[in-house]
Structure 1
Amino acid sequence: MPQPGGRIDCPLARRRLPWPHRSGGAVSRRGCAMLKTVAVPVELSDHDQRVLQFVAGMSRWGVRRVVAIHVAQLTGMERSVALQKESELSRTLDSICAGLEGSDIDFECVLAGGAPAAAIVQTAAEHSADAIVLGTRAKTVLNEITLGSVSEELARTSTLPVMLVPFKVLSESSADDIRAMGAEAFSYIQHPTDFSDPAERMLDFIKSLAGGGVGRVLVSSIIDPAKQDESGPHERSARRILAGIQRELAESGIEADTELAVGNVVDEILRLSKEHGTTSFAMGSRGRTIQGELLLGSVSLSVMRVSGRPVLIGH
């Protein structure tokens, strides 16, 4: 029977020195070497096949193995009933994975138990996943407080990078179009950065994708005019740091553009994405609680809700 999930440790989650104190231009490639294995939580709904089709398209970027994870709550049932339920769920999972036979990716289905977000992260780590990819309904914060959202909990707390794909976009697209979206996901990544530790670790993860042929990266930094004198680098310092990031990406074999803007952070990120034609976002998240997000705001989750593009979030 499925075992309860739990939190695990991952090198990508360990704190490192802030950006200005790093020595040299190169970055040590801690964490994932490439995006070879991804975990996909499934809820046994019509959306599952669409998310898996998206991941199948990601084979262009080196994905060769997918672990489909379903978290079942079987505790409290009589053993015979639980075993029967587990058998039924396993058959359903197998049928979901069988629907993608013939692709270039190996699919494995796993039934887990426990608190959903923790069980997903633990199971993904046990199967050596490099990231978690899942669909999201992009709920508002107030709805999340009432209804809960596994996708947003993972975005805030997962020790593995999490790619969120809006269900709305998937539901409006054909299977071929969805695969094409997956194939284009890393063609032009926008990496908004505030030069924090989470943003730095996400940059390291982007560099680790160089071997998979990642296309181009737009590194953007937005200065909030209301906070310009209180926190964050001034414009001259920000431009210097952005130039350093551009050189580091070039050393990793990745072409990069940089943009510095002043204004509302979310609005400017979305504006730059539209102007440059980026295909996805990759950013750090500070792992705030729902209540904290309500008060302080969370750029990564706000971009996820507003944009129709995949958002890769790391801590």
Structure 2
Amino acid sequence: MRYRQRCGELKIGPSFMRRASRAVQISRSDPTTRECARKGRTQSDHKACLSANAAYLYESARNGVPISVTIRRWLRLHLHFIPKPRWGISMSAFNHGMSIDGYARVSAASAQSLAESMDETGVAVLHDVVPDEIIARMRGFVGDQIARRGGQYFSCEGTAWTADTCLRPLIEDAGLHALLRSLYEGKMRTPPPSERIFPVLRVLTGSHGLRHALNFHYDSYVVTVLLPVLIPNAPGEPPGHLLMFPNLRDARRSAVVNILEKLMMEKLLKRLWRKERVQHWLSAKIVPLTPGNLYFFWGMRSLHANQACLPASVRCTVLMHFGDPHERSRFKGFSQQLHARRLRRMARD
């Protein structure tokens, strides 16, 4: 049973305190129990975990810790024996085997867990979806494109660029479409306007790549999936982590409101989000990226950007956007023009 389903049943009252008091005596009489519970993550350590956790919380309550903090600590400690991490979900938990194209299978069965993680921490991860062989082939494709474009930043948008790449099977995968549709419907309470996935290849390198660092923005799509292809990892080399203010707003159903908010946040206040003090105050999240994983987040809700890389480095990611609630709006063209103008301005020498 998921911990969210148990939250409503958890009571911190006299009964809990009596059980915790008994657990204190057990833990104090057997020091190994507490250490076993602290490190234990298997079902066999279940009783030890509960005893030590209850003892810890009982002592915290006696020291005047607020009840809300006590509940959060209880849930956090109570989950120590559950193998599922708080954010980041192993593919084997929901899917088995490989597809004929080499990708790990993706299905809508993981939608609820992904959505919970995206709501709570901002990001959810499916690990090892894309195998190393396909990542290597994609890197070869990117290397050829960099040589053709003079070693500077470039991006490819739409499905046309994927036609001759090994990424096409993933974008057309029925399981991925079903998962994204389930995430969209769960958040927006309505079917998506289309089943289209809008892929974007971003390659940050050269002096132009620096111009695209820390450009915080909201996506026009409700769900964004990020696939790292090449991340700088040499000693002392900035990797260009994903940096976000998770779920800073709700998904906007009005195209006009969405455009006005994007203008204010991305243009008028763009310098504000780069200040470390503001990032600390608003609990900005740094997300390290590992090639082959899929990172899910609410692109329309989370203000996000990438950290800077060295001009000599290459940082390549594929973004897969899904669910634009303003797709049929008459103002959509205006929003696209603003985006295109912004990219042309940053591409100038």
The answer, yes or no, to whether TM exceeds 0.5 is: no
Between structure 1 and structure 2, the one with the greater Rg is 2
TM-score (norm 2): 0.30
Higher RCO by CA contacts (8 Å cutoff, separation 6 or greater): 1
